[in-house]
Structures are given as structure tokens and as C-alpha cells.
Structure 1
């Protein structure tokens, strides 16, 4: 592939990014606009044209998964020697390289969890901590460190941003805890993830020979998701650059959803001030979602704008029309979970893969109801943020078998068949187990490995088992798990950077979104951006819902999210299809009911609504009654209509050709 041919697959704006190889470049990229394609093609084009040496490029992003995906794309584009890492991974590698020379000996041990250190620090300063408060205090320590806030400055800094103190502690107590935490780490000879960045940045700032060596190695920088950089990450980036301007940053201020963790769009918004000669490119062509989804996203997005805020990007849909966005009001949380599970099951039956469906919510505690409802509906699921795929015992066992098989695999047997033969001994079979539970979860994991083997063959026709093992090792190091065939359950924060064919945004009531903890104007604005991120995860099907009550039979005390004002159908500016009830209407059943009503109306010479109003048809198609008693509680059906049409409605719902026993229906209804 020639250098110029790399540009053929890009639109004009993406091509502008790819050909801007030197100097400061700022890419403002809306959701679904192909930013990863643009920046990976930029790097590959620079390598192909000889402007870049692969080893001189450092691309950094925020998640191991994103970094792994970037490496795969770069390899496929012929730029496999480029370093694509998270901030922490890149810094840890450099720190480990220079520590023996600068400090002497091996670097301190890196602790992955702060809990025991925070608990010890709390005991030393008289701060009572339990399991929940330890987690909250650890998060506060992380915020202070990535925000470059010292213990001495904590009270002032927290007050300046109106940051609530965690775990019921006052600011002075948290400041004392910050000091004690650092003391505990020093005594134990360990460092945390924030220390990796702090220590490397300090080393580069204070040791000229180290800074010179790093800057001679890395000449070109790319920073993805730049709206999420913290002050600490920005400081490290500045040390890497050393006053140079050869950096390309990519981000979208409207997708800033991690301010609570120290992320700030300030650096993206002020990039042209720090780099006056920067070239700015805006990516607004949305290749991900239908016009219906993009239209809602734009309306949510523009509603976030406050006086003085920069104008948000206005996305332009590139996909053909799709179904209307659906809005559903449920009576309670159980009804919402059951309704969404039923809709997911219908989508799967209609050909949408379960792995291309997601249910997104504001807090992780909301997942349990959806897990139970999906299991009851016979739909597989996976909870994002649960046990990591490569940490599972059955996956580790499978990898051992695959590595052993790679040494003796028959080269004449196709890779897919070889993998299937090997994994049969650890739970794979051509068909999944009928029931949910541990056996089905194990099968789902094995099927994900089988699917990855098939994908590898499709991408590289001569791929071998050795190639698959190497791919799995790369993915394990980056925690880039293969796709498991099940509906994804995830918080809105965990969904960032992902996309699905169908997305259900659940629990959209005030107190959940925006969450009740959002007390400041800035915090509420970030909650609205979280809704925007959720909307833009959907490619084709999008459904928004809320429940009026928490439990069946309890008072309907919840109000629909204020973010949906003007968006909900029936309100000024609202578009889409609205449903009311315990489940959304089945489209096929609803169409049959409408055809039946039209025939009855024609026979009687009356208007269709005189037979049954639309609300009654929709309620029947949502309730899916199977026996006469089910019709008693359907909205819009009174006793007269039940006696007159009850058996016909049951017959139409069941899609039966022969009429039922009208007398039997009347008897049961009475």
C-alpha cells in the first residue's frame, strides 16, 4: 500500500488531520466521527512518507483497551513499531528504565490498590474508615495528586471548586490523611499509580540528561481523549515536549465526564493559546449513528451550553434513516427491567446479536435488576466492570491449552477448527447450554475465543494457532477482551469509548440523572454531558426510559430527568415514539392489531378509533396477553369492549387464524 493510498479511505477533514504531520495540531472530534481512524492514518502516513521514524512517535490515551486497539490498527497500517500506550504505561516503562541510573537499585514496588494504605493512614490520624469510606478516601487522594494539590493546599483547593469532602470528613481531616498516606507509602517502600507520573515528571524536570535522552527518542506526540487530561498528565506531557510543539491532541469538550477524578477540558480549550500556530480541524461527520440518534444527541448537546461556553460541535449524520428513538415511562424499576429485557429479547429474535445490545445506567447498583430480568427472559448478558476476562480461571486454563496446542498443531487443519477442538475440553460446544449460570458463562467465554480465532482468519487468511496465542497475549497485557455474546450491562461512565447497535438508557429520573450528589451548576452540566455520551453510544436502536416508583405498588414519587425536558415526545421540541406501561409495544403485534381494527371499523362503518383507541392497541401489544384474565388490566379497555373484542384481541396477539370462543372469554372476564 502506497502512502497516498492510505488517504483514500478518509473524508476531507480526516485527510486534513492525516496530512498535518508537523507542528501543533488540535482535532476537535465529535462522537462517531472517526477520530481513531484519522490519527492512526496520520501516524501511518507520516511513517510511510519518511517524516516519522516509527520509534520516534509516542501515542498516549487513557485506557489499556484504547491503546491496544490503536496498536492493532497501526500494525495493520504498516506502522507496528509505533509506541501506543496509556499515560501510566508509558511513564512506568520510562521510570523503570532510568531509575537504576538516577536513583540506584530497582524502582519501588507499585501497589495497585490503595485500600490497606488508606486504612493505615486513617488509623494514624484518627479518621474512622470502613470499606465504603476507604474507597471514597482513596478516590479523594487520587484527585488531589492528579490535580497537583498538596496536603497543605487541599482545604483551599477543595473549597475553590466547591468539592464535597468524602466519607463525612471535614477538609482538615482529609488534609491530615493525605500527609499520613504519603508517610505510610514511604515507610513501606511502595509507590502508587499517581507516583509513577509524578516521579517521572520530576526526574525529567530535574535531570537534564534524562530529559535530553527521552526527547531525543520521542519527537512526535499524539494525545487521544485530550479533554480528559489531568493537570498531572498535562505537566508530564510538557516535560516530554520540552518546549517543542510537535504534538497532535484529539478530544471533544462535550464528552468531559471525569471531572470528579481530576480531568479537565481546560487544556483542550486553551490549546491554541499555548500553541498560537496550531492547526485546528473539526470532525463532525458522524459515521456511527442514524439521523434519529444524531438528532437527539445534538439537542442534548446544545442544551448543555451555558453563557460563555464555547459552541459545541454539531454532528452531521452520515448513516441512512433508522427507527425512531423510543421513550418509555414505566411504573416501577421491576417493570422497567422486565420491559427492557423483553425488548432486548425481541431484538435478538429479529437478528441483532446480543453482543450488540447494551443497557446503560448511572450507578452500578442498578445492574442487579437487569441481570435478573435478562436471566428470566433467557437472554445472556455480561456486566462490564466485573471480573476481568483474562483474570477468569476458565480463560486462563484455556490459554494454557492453546499455548500447548500451538507447539503441535497440524498446519493443514484450519485455525478455527483447531481452536474448537482444543476448547471442547474446557466447556465449548457447538450450541450453548440451555440454562444460565456458571456453565453458560464459561461457554460464553470460550465462544469469545472461538470468535476471535475466526476474526483473525478473516483478517489474515494464513493465521496460525501461534498467531492467535500472540494476539491473546497482546490483548491480555492491554486488558482488551474479545467480545462475549451477551447483552452488555454497564454504567454510563464505563460505556465511554464503546458503541452498540442497540442501546437502552435506563433510570432517567431526577436523582439518578442528574445524580443527587450533583449540587453545583458545573456538576449538573457534567451529568448532562453523561447523557450525551450515552445517546451517542447507539448506532441504530435507542430507547430512553425511567420508572416512576422504585418498587411495585409504592408511591410514584420520581420525576422524569430534567434533561429530557423538551426532548420527550408530546413536549415542545420533543420527537420520537413514547410508550407507557410495563413493557414497550411489540411492533409486529401492534401492526396486526391495527389491521384487525381497520377490518372491524370497515365492517361496521365507523371510524377506527371508535373500535379501540391507539392507546389501547399499544397497551395490548405491550402486555402481550395470553389468557382472558390478562386483559382486565390493560389500559383503554373497559368491560364493554372486553366482552366485545376480548377473544379477537387474544387471537390477534397469538397470531391465530381461527376465532376463539367468545363465550369462554366473556365467562372468564366476568
Structure 2
């Protein structure tokens, strides 16, 4: 028999030994969630529950297999007869079993994403959509929007208006494609990944005999990472368990960060309402982070509008506070992080140090600094700066200015221009290489785009020692091609080019700049965490992982939280949860970096920025050690007086105001004592003194 009292803390033991009725386990970060599930599986079997009556639903098959293996090790027996897997896998199994009930008399087949894209491609061809229009979204993009709209259970029009406003002119066409895609699947008896969940829900709602059968088989249900379920997954769990069935869901509302793909934090928050007899158990003892780090993360959580109260604590009472570092700019931030990595690497191996960020492009300046310092790194989430297609396009154009001809750069640069394929590009390169300028002029007379590019390259010939001006001209030339080639994610690409302009501003020689940009990182991307390589990761990709030392960069408005999130109170809550997830990845060191200025493409200079509202609302005097960058050295700074709780940043959900010049706008946040951040349609975000605003009641 397993000694559960010796193996588990009090809260874990309560969760493991509670077997009857609905149970909600709120598992704080690092609190032993997986351990609790593993021991509960073993406990159920020891209590005489037949393994075939247990259903374990997780978000990856790998997670389910690991839990079943570990519980089997405890029991010294196989746990293969437990049904463990994903919602989609379980749905597929049930639909196969009852296909005839749904009307699939000859069965059905599941499509992968490649199959779905082929159907979308055929529909577009039949409807003659996007022919000759390089801004029309690609098949994969269309498919992703169809999937997101289904998972969020909103219309395609609503999704595009909220998440892809630059594609709003194509809404009617996208809706036609989505409707025909649905019809074609029905005609061919095909289901895609999303269909599995909705078809199972239909099966259970419309066939009481099937529902009764499933309830009789699966009498004990466990759901992991419940905060990441979407609406239909939560409904399925409720259907299978019934209102008072033996269902345990485990999760953390504070780690619900996947709203962009359909996860709904309301599922876990509303669990006690949907299951009135539910019992709540909180796992709050943290086995990962030091107490000072947990003090900060608890403070972050205290500002959540909707949440389950929890107070993480640890027996590791280190005296080292998290550090709040204020570099002068986002470029000096990269150098500051590099210096901090060098310092931390004396204590921790590189793979135990991570730099986290809100969006992939935010690590670009740091990547350049790491390459120059020959520090190996791996990046997870987003792609490496030098591998981004639009960055490679611009760098190819820059290399075409060089007196030493480069065939690959000419091929890529000319490939942007309509009417020039690979063979023509090679001919033009050979003519340039051999000095046959008359051939280039003849071709330019027939091809306006080539003529304009050639005129640009000639005009830039004397700017090799002013790479900043040279790059500005190239990006201006490239912008129309960027809009045509990457319409579906244009804002993200523009951010990348802004970072490139900021990086080049630190050079006075084109050759040095291009050399630094092509330095290769020796580690392959996406193959798992390697020894002796610094980790760069988006926060979304970091969930579930941990490091000895963590730095979170770009904690300023419109970068963290993102610009889009600042328009919506619900999105702001998810961004706050994202910061909580980032900070709880750290075991012993946590650094928060808040640059005072960031590069602005419009002005060509660094512009002062507001620190993130999540930093402003912290009880800073007890949470962090303040450091500032002084002449390249990090110096301790006197802590400011603790912020009054009455002065925290507020995000009114529906307050509007009027300005004499900008018109009517929505107030996004208030900045004490008398300023407001306002979004004016057609103008954008402005920080305005309250004396100049007429605020509506």
C-alpha cells in the first residue's frame, strides 16, 4: 500500500482522497499538480475502482501517458485499461463507435491540415478568389481563421474585426469559403480536427441512450489543465459527468493564457455554478520558486478582476528580491540582458537561464548582441530574427548595394518584383556581374519595377558608411511589396522592420552590419532544450517549463500588454495572467526589464514610453530591488514610496470622452493624478490631460 500521508502535503492529500462528487482543484504554479493527479489515479484503483471506469482527459497524449505510467509505477501494475488522452482523441473513439447513429452509414475519415488546405484551395479556385491579388490570405491562413472562429464560437466577421482588421475587406469572401468548406466535408464524409468535439456534443445531446452508455462506463472523470478548455470541451465534460457526477478538474485560473485560440477562463471560474455540489481544494504550497518571487506573483494576482483567491508560499525563504531594471532604451536593454546573462552564467549553466517576451520580434536586438558575443541560444515561439522572410528580403536588397555581387541576394531581391522569375533574375545578375549595363537598361525600359530598383541601388552607392539612411530608403522601397506579400500578418512584420532600423542605427559601416546579421546560431531551432545554450522564449511557449534564472523584457505599454489588449478589459486580464506565468517560471532569480524609451519608426528616434500598468500597480517597495543603468553599469536605486492602492491603474470597460480636436474616444486607462490613455478612432492611442477631455457619465 502507498503511504499517501508521507508522500503528499495536506492539500494534495485532500485532493487525492476525495473521490465522490464534483471537485475543483485550484493548483497554483509549481504546486505539484501532476503529482496530485498521478497519486489520485493510484488511489482510485487501490480503493477498488475498476480502471476501465476511469477517464483521464489531458491536452496532449504524451501528458496522459506519463501520468498513467507514473501511477502504474506506484501501483506496480499496468494502467493501460484507463482511458487516457486528449478531448479530441476521446471524441474520435466515441464517434467511431457510434458513427451509424450520426448518419455515417459507411463511416467517416479524419482530415489532417494538409487535406483541409487542399479543399480550401479547390474552393478558392472554383470561386476564383484571390487570383492575382497577393494580399488575399493564403489557404493556411483562411483555415486557421475558420478554426479559431469555431473554437471561440464567434462568427468569422467578428473574428476578423477583432484579430485581423487589415483583412476586413475580404470578410464576405472568407464566409463563402467557410460555408463551402462545411458543405464539401459533409459531401465527402470527412471531419476535421474541430469537428470531432462538436459532433460528439451533437451525438450526446441528441441520443440519450449513447449518453447513458458513456456515463455508465466512465464513472470517474479527471480533466487536467481545465483553465485551457474551450467552451465545447467544458460542455462535453459536464455532459459526460452530469451535474453531480464524480468529476475532478484540475487547473489554475491564473494560468489561462490561450484565449487567442479559444480557451475560456470562464470555464474554470464558473465551475462551482455549473456544479452546485462542487468542492474546492487549493494547492498553494510552491515547490519551484523562492518566497520573494512568490510575493511578487501574489501581488500580480491581487489585481485580477475575476479570480479565485490563492496565496502561494514556499519553504525556500531566500533574501534575494526580484530585480526591476530600467535600461535607457530597448537597445540598451539588449546589452543589459547580455551583461546579466554573463553574470548569471557564473552561477547557473546557460540552459538554466531564460529570457521571456510577449512577442517573438521583441528578442531581435538581443539576438544580434548574443551573436556578436558568440553566446549560443535557442529560441522557442516565433522565429529567429535573421530567418524571418521579410528581414531576409530587406537584407538581400541591402547586399545588392555592395560592389561585390552576390547571386543569392540578387535572386531573392529581384524575386520580389512582378515579371521576374529565377531564370530572368540569373540573367540580370550575370549582366551586372559582367558590366553589361546596356542590357540592364533595356530590361529596365520594359519593367518599371526593375528600373525603380536599379535607380534606388545607384542612389545608395555612396551610403555604405551611413547604413541607417541606406536601410531607411530600402525599407521605404520595400514597403509596398511587404503589404502585398504578407498582408495577413502585416503589423507583426512592420514591428520586425522597426527593430531592424533600430539595430542598424548602432552601426557606421554597412559591411559590419551585414556581417553581424548573418552570423549563424549553432543550435537547431525547435529540437528541445539543449545543454549550454541560453533559452529565448515567448511566454506562451514557456508554460509548463522552469529555469533557475528568468528575465522578462519590454515591460512597457503596447508591448506588454500588447497594443490590442489595451482596448479591452478582458484582454488586459489575460495579459496580466501572462506576466504571472512568466514570473512563476523562475526558481531563484527573476529580473523585470522596463526600458525608458523604444524605437519609433515614424520619428526615426527613441521615444519615451510608459512603463507597463502591471509594473505601476505593484506594491513595489516590498516586491522588487530597483536597479538602473548608469553609464553601462547596473546600480542599486533607492526604492520609491509604495504606491497607494487608490492610485493603481484602472481600465474602465466602457468609459468614453470627447476631445475638441480628436473627437470621441474610448478611455483605456487612467494615469494618476489627471491623465488618461484614450483610443480615438482613426487617430490611435493618445495620452491626454484630463482638463482637455469631456468625460461622459
TM-score normalised to structure 2 length: 0.63
Question: Are residues 1:576 and 2:625 paired?
Answer: yes
Question: Are residues 1:62 and 2:59 paired?
Answer: yes
Q: Is the 8 A contact 2:377 2:521 kept in 1?
A: no
In structure 1, the residue matched to 2:74 is 77
Pick aligned residue for 1:508 from 550, 555, 559: 555
Deviation at residue 503 of structure 1 after TM alignment: 0.9
In structure 2, the residue matched to 1:41 is 39
Cα distance in 2 between the residues matched to 1:528 and 1:349: 32
Q: Counterpart of 1:59 in 2: which secondary structure?
A: strand
Q: Is the 8 A contact 1:381 1:489 kept in 2?
A: yes
Pick aligned residue for 1:559 from 610, 624, 642: 610
Mapping of residues 276-287 of structure 1, within 5 Å: 276-287=276-287
In structure 2, the residue matched to 1:642 is none
Q: Counterpart of 1:88 in 2: which secondary structure?
A: helix
In structure 1, the residue matched to 2:108 is 107
In structure 2, the residue matched to 1:520 is 568
Q: Is the 8 A contact 1:100 1:107 kept in 2?
A: no
Cα distance in 1 between the residues matched to 2:598 and 2:122: 41
Q: 1:182 to 1:544 in 2, by over 3 A?
A: same
Cα distance in 2 between the residues matched to 1:72 and 1:211: 29
Mapping of residues 177-192 of structure 1, within 5 Å: 177-186=177-186, 190-192=190-192
Structure 1, residues 500-544: CA drift from partner, whole Å, max 9, x if none? 111111121111111011111111221111111111111111111
In structure 2, the residue matched to 1:144 is 149
Q: Counterpart of 2:57 in 1: which secondary structure?
A: strand
Cα distance in 2 between the residues matched to 1:581 and 1:177: 57
In structure 1, the residue matched to 2:545 is 498
Cα distance in 1 between the residues matched to 2:529 and 2:70: 16
Q: Is the 8 A contact 1:133 1:167 kept in 2?
A: no
Cα distance in 2 between the residues matched to 1:228 and 1:70: 18
In structure 2, the residue matched to 1:532 is 580
Cα distance in 1 between the residues matched to 2:243 and 2:270: 16
Cα distance in 1 between the residues matched to 2:55 and 2:617: 44
Cα distance in 1 between the residues matched to 2:624 and 2:68: 41
Cα distance in 2 between the residues matched to 1:165 and 1:439: 35
Question: Are residues 1:253 and 2:250 paired?
Answer: no
Deviation at residue 144 of structure 1 after TM alignment: 2.6
Q: Is the 8 A contact 1:147 1:232 kept in 2?
A: no
Q: 1:499 to 1:189 in 2, by over 3 A?
A: same
Q: Counterpart of 2:263 in 1: which secondary structure?
A: coil
Pick aligned residue for 1:341 from 329, 338, 341: 338
Cα distance in 1 between the residues matched to 2:72 and 2:100: 32
Q: Is the 8 A contact 2:299 2:619 kept in 1?
A: no
In structure 2, the residue matched to 1:543 is 591
Cα distance in 2 between the residues matched to 1:167 and 1:134: 17
Deviation at residue 372 of structure 1 after TM alignment: 3.4
Cα distance in 2 between the residues matched to 1:550 and 1:198: 46
Cα distance in 2 between the residues matched to 1:582 and 1:362: 28
Q: Is the 8 A contact 1:345 1:379 kept in 2?
A: no
Cα distance in 2 between the residues matched to 1:342 and 1:14: 41
In structure 1, the residue matched to 2:350 is 354
In structure 1, the residue matched to 2:289 is 289
Cα distance in 1 between the residues matched to 2:98 and 2:364: 47
In structure 1, the residue matched to 2:645 is none
Question: Are residues 1:381 and 2:392 paired?
Answer: no
Q: 1:164 to 1:73 in 2, by over 3 A?
A: same
Gaps of 5+ in 2: 384-518, 638-697
Cα distance in 2 between the residues matched to 1:53 and 1:263: 32
Cα distance in 2 between the residues matched to 1:131 and 1:321: 55
Q: 1:132 to 1:67 in 2, by over 3 A?
A: farther
Mapping of residues 362-381 of structure 1, within 5 Å: 362-381=358-377
Cα distance in 1 between the residues matched to 2:105 and 2:633: 65
Pick aligned residue for 1:10 from 1, 8, 11: 8
Cα distance in 2 between the residues matched to 1:358 and 1:18: 33
Aligned pair count reads 491
Mapping of residues 412-491 of structure 1, within 5 Å: 441=524, 485-491=532-538
Q: Is the 8 A contact 1:509 1:558 kept in 2?
A: yes
Question: Are residues 1:330 and 2:315 paired?
Answer: no
In structure 2, the residue matched to 1:239 is 239
Q: Is the 8 A contact 1:257 1:527 kept in 2?
A: yes
Cα distance in 1 between the residues matched to 2:619 and 2:282: 30
Cα distance in 2 between the residues matched to 1:11 and 1:245: 26
Q: Counterpart of 1:512 in 2: which secondary structure?
A: coil
Q: Counterpart of 1:320 in 2: which secondary structure?
A: coil
Deviation at residue 574 of structure 1 after TM alignment: 5.8
Q: Is the 8 A contact 1:509 1:559 kept in 2?
A: yes
Structure 1, residues 337-383: CA drift from partner, whole Å, max 9, x if none? 23323322332232x13222221111122344333333333333222
Q: Is the 8 A contact 2:600 2:607 kept in 1?
A: no
Q: Which moved more, 1:243-252 or 1:138-147?
A: 138-147
Q: 1:509 to 1:260 in 2, by over 3 A?
A: same
Say what the alpha-carbon RMSD is for the aligned residues: 3.6
In structure 1, the residue matched to 2:448 is none
Cα distance in 2 between the residues matched to 1:225 and 1:361: 23
Q: Counterpart of 1:285 in 2: which secondary structure?
A: coil
Cα distance in 1 between the residues matched to 2:240 and 2:321: 48
Deviation at residue 29 of structure 1 after TM alignment: 1.8
Cα distance in 1 between the residues matched to 2:84 and 2:633: 44
Deviation at residue 298 of structure 1 after TM alignment: 1.2
In structure 2, the residue matched to 1:424 is none
Cα distance in 2 between the residues matched to 1:363 and 1:257: 14
Q: Counterpart of 1:331 in 2: which secondary structure?
A: coil
Q: 1:554 to 1:71 in 2, by over 3 A?
A: farther
Cα distance in 2 between the residues matched to 1:584 and 1:328: 11
TM-score normalised to structure 1 length: 0.65
Q: Counterpart of 1:556 in 2: which secondary structure?
A: strand
Cα distance in 1 between the residues matched to 2:619 and 2:61: 37
Deviation at residue 17 of structure 1 after TM alignment: 0.2
Q: 1:372 to 1:276 in 2, by over 3 A?
A: same
Q: Is the 8 A contact 2:54 2:220 kept in 1?
A: yes
Q: 1:317 to 1:365 in 2, by over 3 A?
A: same
Q: 1:513 to 1:112 in 2, by over 3 A?
A: same
Deviation at residue 576 of structure 1 after TM alignment: 1.5
Question: Are residues 1:273 and 2:273 paired?
Answer: yes
Structure 1, residues 529-574: CA drift from partner, whole Å, max 9, x if none? 11111111111111111332238983233332121114386xx666
Gaps of 5+ in 1: 388-435, 446-480, 591-613, 616-670
